[in-house]
Structure 1
């Protein structure tokens, strides 16, 4: 047997009358005249198949059927109100779920301030923060596995994704603390020519990898890679263990590891870019609100 559908207007009229137990007061609260209210209640009673109110001169009372329906009707109306509020919040970008990919090194600089600012403005948004290097972020954006990416050296000529530079920073030399070059305040890139390197694989971030290779090429050599690691903290740990040297974004200096020294390099003009990336066709207001927060600058 099919269950009858109960129009929300009729449920609303029923609940208000059940609370007021007076047709005149209930009609005034609903902003309608008494005859339309009586019609709403009558139609609802027809759908239920039983009277919901005892009507006597000067007195209205709930029947057994009315007493049974009232809690369910109240829950239905409350659920609808909550759903409408949630829908409005999601539609305005003030609630919902936002998935953000980020390069690990940004946890040392840009990311904490951005998240603090965004959470202060949008406390009801659920943030899923996913650590991943540049290439996986770009794939995840295209596959709609994340909504926004914070990455290094996005590729040029993107049409599907929008990208904006957030900040740029120079490179530093990463050396074992006991290395002879660690006694210098500045290291020329060419001085690293004969040393083994610890680098990220190109597949993790082609743009950044090519920048480092370009720095070495400009100094007249190709880096001899002895070890590869996906995360900068691991790169620094391997350098500290004496397995090689590296060139890294300057923010990596905030990784505090014993046995590792960071030194400015010459030439110093080459800088690595940090960018925010998103799908151009994404109409999610949460994405627009995060982009607006990014454009405000650091907290």
Structure 2
């Protein structure tokens, strides 16, 4: 026969009485009258099928059955208290697990400060960090394998994801240190027309790739791409070998390579956009905490990336 579950209020009353061994003292500690306490204990004894206390004038003691139940009752109450505390922490966004995708180049700009600030504010939250380019981040957000994305140039036709700008940074020319233009402080884009290019593939970040191609087109040439690399660090390493030149976000200058020169470009008005991305229907308090940390209000309508 299946044993009936024991109500937690009755267990609580049992543990307090077992500690006080006095109905009056236990009732006062529980904040109830003595008759309701006696009723709680009687109901619990009915469920157990045995008396839990011996009662004599001026004397209350645990029976063998009561002594056996007491450790399990304490564990149940402790586990419940811990579970409630954990649930409250997760529900309020003070604990849990948050999965974040980020473009590798953002480790050179916004990522360290953002993570440091978030960890300082919410030390109970475990951050699960995944390095990935823009296109995989978008797919991972849709697949719900990450909760937040930090990416470059989000698409303008996305309806299920929200985007908001974190920063905009200029482009720089990435040149081998032996390149003739490396002696100049500023490079006009048209001067790169005859140089081979090393770029990220379009599949890694379509909007950013198209933006770079567009800059070259406005400057009067179509770049001759001879090599693709998925990460900017690899692009710079290939440039260092003399394989070609590139255009990259200005933060790439923090990659210290002896054989690479980073130069400002003219016109210098072009900017690459870094955005935080999230699912619009995500009601996770952890996502709300992260968005608040980067200065966003998740209760407001997210700004579309084309605006």
CA distance in 2, matches of 1:91, 1:268: 46
1:103 aligned to 2:131?
no
Aligned to 2:278, the other structure's residue is in SS state strand
Matches within 5 A, 1:219-238: 219-238=219-238
Structure 2, unmatched stretches of 5+, are 297-307
CA distance in 1, matches of 2:258, 2:2: 72
CA distance in 2, matches of 1:177, 1:101: 33
CA distance in 2, matches of 1:44, 1:248: 72
Once the two structures are superposed, residues 59-106 of structure 1 have per-residue CA deviations (whole angstroms, 9 ceiling, x without a partner) of: 111111111111111111111111111111111111111111111100
1:174 aligned to 2:204?
no
Q: Which residue of 2 aligns with 1:90?
A: 90
TM-score between the two structures when normalised by the length of structure 2: 0.95
Displacement of 1:112: 0.5
Q: When the two structures are aligned, how many residues end up with a matched partner? A: 296
CA distance in 2, matches of 1:105, 1:152: 9
Q: Which residue of 2 aligns with 1:152?
A: 152
Once the two structures are superposed, residues 221-269 of structure 1 have per-residue CA deviations (whole angstroms, 9 ceiling, x without a partner) of: 1111111110000110111111111000000000112211111011110
Displacement of 1:47: 1.1
Q: Which residue of 2 aligns with 1:279?
A: 279
Aligned to 2:268, the other structure's residue is in SS state coil
Structure 1 residue ranges (4+ consecutive) displaced by more than 6 angstroms after TM superposition? none
Q: Which residue of 2 aligns with 1:197?
A: 197
CA distance in 2, matches of 1:214, 1:157: 19
Q: Which residue of 1 aligns with 2:32?
A: 32
Displacement of 1:46: 1.2
Q: Which residue of 1 aligns with 2:210?
A: 210
Displacement of 1:49: 1.4
Matches within 5 A, 1:234-273: 234-273=234-273
CA distance in 2, matches of 1:227, 1:158: 29
Displacement of 1:179: 1.2
CA distance in 2, matches of 1:254, 1:75: 54
Q: Which residue of 2 aligns with 1:23?
A: 23
Structure 1, unmatched stretches of 5+, are none
RMSD (CA atoms) = 0.9
Displacement of 1:20: 0.9
Once the two structures are superposed, residues 24-76 of structure 1 have per-residue CA deviations (whole angstroms, 9 ceiling, x without a partner) of: 01001111111111111111111111111121211111111111111111111
CA distance in 2, matches of 1:3, 1:113: 55
